[in-house]
Amino acid sequence: MSQVNHLKEKADEYLRKHRINELFEDICTAICFKQPEDIEGFIIQQLKLKKEQGFKTGIFSDEEIDNVFTLFDLKKDGFIGKEACKDALKTLASSEYQFNEIDEQNIPEKVDAATFTRLCYSVLGVQKQ
């Protein structure tokens, strides 16, 4: 029985190390969202994108990004603070990789909607819907 547990632990470690579950979840989510006609071609495209950009991509519309910004713009003055910006970005993040990327960013003390959108694209690798 311990041999079986050891093999399972090694398999689980391998899956975590190479982020296999996250990879498949991301691709399945993208398939459901985009509903491509050529699923195999789409999967290949997604794998190439992951290879180029790592686990950064997400699919959001500009309206969704604007809505997140608006939720964090509590004063409704068109700006959010640095920490609010990080928190807002984290609501769109879908991986530990993205959370780490957000924490490492040099974000200005005041962020407007256009800057927030640019950060979504550059830091999170957000793709337009």
pLDDT digits 0-9 by tens, 42-80: 999 988 877 766 665 566 788 889 999 999 999 999 999
Distance CA 12, CA 9 (A): 5
Give me the percent of the chain exceeding a pLDDT of 90.
41
Residue 53 CB-density burial (10 A; 0-12 exposed, 13-18 middle, 19+ buried): exposed
What is the structure's pLDDT at 66? 94
Residue with tokens 């604007």: 66
Higher pLDDT, 115 or 97: 115
What is the structure's pLDDT at 55? 61
Give me the percent of the chain exceeding a pLDDT of 70.
88
Picking from 59, 70, 55, 69, the residue whose alpha carbon sits closest to that of residue 20 is 55
> Dihedral, CA atoms, 40, 99, 68, 47, nearest 10 degrees?
-10
Distance CA 109, CA 37 (A): 44
- Could you tell me whether strands 126-128 and 110-112 are parallel, antiparallel, or unpaired per DSSP bridges? unpaired
Fold observed for domain 58-128: Recoverin; domain 1 (1.10.238)
Q: What is the pLDDT of residues 27-43, one digit of tens each?
A: 888 888 789 999 999 99
Distance CA 53, CA 97 (A): 11
Residue with tokens 């071609």: 41
